[in-house]
């Protein structure tokens, strides 16, 4: 671990706190530190020094390092929800909306791998619904796709869970390098479309 007077070896950029949202500054700084060294070497005291405040100031908002990491995970879920709820092009049919949600999910995991890997761990969240809310857009899209014939009719929740399992598997394998180890180098768009084309051909026709 580098001393407080040294720049992080990875070249990570920490924004020095000025005035205003101290809690938000800790969350932003935590994400930088997670990208730099991961959760195993995360230090709340060092993070405070990196953003230019006293270590004691962290405890005004977070009871512990785990509490801060829980806040980071909750913020990650909110950002994922925002990405999923972005309006679709007017030309998209129900099937295309399911595919697009899948692309957004995998793309978010690739762009936010440091946080995404923690979001599904054991950290408690600051709201009972902040995690489950991100499932709602997919559930609604699947239900609509079943009505329009883009997916087989049935229990929409079970179908949405099956789609989510496939998407989460793609995300985890992409982040872990598992796909690369098999010689598969594809963008989230190509990966999701190709997978759906094989698993749900009526959803993603050639």
Q: Which fold has domain 76-199?
A: Tetracycline Repressor; domain 2 (1.10.357)
Q: What are 42-71's pLDDT values in tens digits?
A: 888 888 888 888 888 888 888 888 889 889
Cα–Cα dist 201/206, whole Å: 8
Residue 11 clears pLDDT 80, i.e. is over it: no
Cα–Cα dist 147/144, whole Å: 5
Cα–Cα dist 33/148, whole Å: 46
- 205 alpha-carbon distance from chain centroid: 28
Given this model, what pLDDT does residue 170 score?
93
- Is-contact 71 133, C-beta < 8 A? no
User: Class assignment of domain 1-62?
Assistant: mainly alpha
Domain boundaries, the chain: 1-62, 76-199
Q: What are 70-100's pLDDT values in tens digits?
A: 899 999 999 999 999 999 999 999 999 999 9
Q: What is the pTM of this model?
A: 0.84
> 161 is written with which tokens?
């869970």
**Nearest one of 120, 33, 41 to 76, comparing CA atoms:** 120
Quick check: do 1-62 and 76-199 share a fold?
no
């Amino acid at each position: 671990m580098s001393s407080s007077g040294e720049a992080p070896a990875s070249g990570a950029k920490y924004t020095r706190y000025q005035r205003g949202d101290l809690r938000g500054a800790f969350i932003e700084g935590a994400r930088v530190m997670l990208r730099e060294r991961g959760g195993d070497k995360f230090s709340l005291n060092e993070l405070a020094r990196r953003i230019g405040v006293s270590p004691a100031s962290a405890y005004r908002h977070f009871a512990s390092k785990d509490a801060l990491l829980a806040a980071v995970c909750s913020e990650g879920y909110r950002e994922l929800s925002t990405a999923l709820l972005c309006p679709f092009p007017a030309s998209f049919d129900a099937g295309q909306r399911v595919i697009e949600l899948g692309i957004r999910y995998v793309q978010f995991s690739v762009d936010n791998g440091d946080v995404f890997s923690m979001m599904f761990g054991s950290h408690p969240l600051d709201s009972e619904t902040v995690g489950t809310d991100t499932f709602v857009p997919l559930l609604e899209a699947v239900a609509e796709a079943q009505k329009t014939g883009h997916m087989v009719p049935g229990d929409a929740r079970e179908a949405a869970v099956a789609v989510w399992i496939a998407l989460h598997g793609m995300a985890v394998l992409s982040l872990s390098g598992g796909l690369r180890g098999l010689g598969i180098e594809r963008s989230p768009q190509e990966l999701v479309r190709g997978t759906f084309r094989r698993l749900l051909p009526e959803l993603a026709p050639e």
